[in-house]
């Protein structure tokens, strides 16, 4: 490893470890689902953007959206990556979704990426991407 590449790697700090832990606790509460507890990890003016550009202001909105899409859904969290920034920490949590569609058909292996911005010990921004829409298209025999 060159000195330049070593300098580009940031060591984990208490702040980045705390941000990762905060996000993971948020995700666990979200999967219960317990949107009120999940909301305690977020700032009052949090910006939540779900797949398809859907905008929400509180975890209860995301829980309501998920209830329309899935009978139930959980995350198999595979990895949490953190990147320190200027006054904030970026946290990525990746893995797969598993659960059941409303018709009772189970699913698993549905990839997701969640990106969080953490400032002052609270989540201030959350972006969510997953393969659910692609899977719905396949279930409807639509190739896109």
The per-residue pLDDT string of the chain (144 residues; one tens digit each, 9 = 90 and over) reads 444 434 444 556 788 999 999 999 999 999 999 999 999 999 999 999 999 999 999 999 999 999 999 999 999 999 999 999 889 999 999 999 999 999 999 999 999 999 999 999 999 999 999 999 999 888 889 986
DSSP secondary-structure letter at 67? H
Three-point CA angle 38, 40, 42, nearest 5°: 85
Cβ pair 31, 74 in contact under 8 A: yes
**Would you state the pLDDT for residue 1?**
46
**pLDDT score, position 139:** 87
**Spatial distance between the Cα atoms of 133 and 25, rounded to a whole number of angstroms:** 26
Angle between helices 14-31 and 59-69 (to 10 degrees): 50
The domains located in the chain, with CATH, are 3-139 (3.10.450.50)
pLDDT at 3: 47
């Amino acid at each position: 490893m060159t000195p330049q590449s070593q300098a580009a790697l940031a060591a984990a700090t208490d702040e980045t470890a705390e941000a990762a832990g905060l996000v993971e606790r948020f995700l666990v509460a979200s999967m219960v689902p317990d949107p009120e507890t999940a909301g305690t990890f977020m700032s009052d003016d949090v910006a939540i953007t779900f797949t398809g550009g859907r905008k929400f202001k509180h975890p209860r909105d995301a829980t309501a959206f998920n209830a329309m899409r899935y009978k139930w859904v959980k995350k198999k969290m595979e990895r949490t990556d953190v990147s320190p920034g200027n006054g904030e920490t970026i946290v990525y949590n990746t893995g797969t979704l598993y659960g059941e569609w409303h018709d009772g058909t189970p699913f698993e292996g549905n990839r997701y990426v969640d990106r969080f911005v953490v400032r002052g010990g609270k989540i201030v921004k959350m972006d969510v991407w997953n393969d659910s829409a692609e899977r719905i298209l396949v279930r409807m025999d639509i190739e896109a």
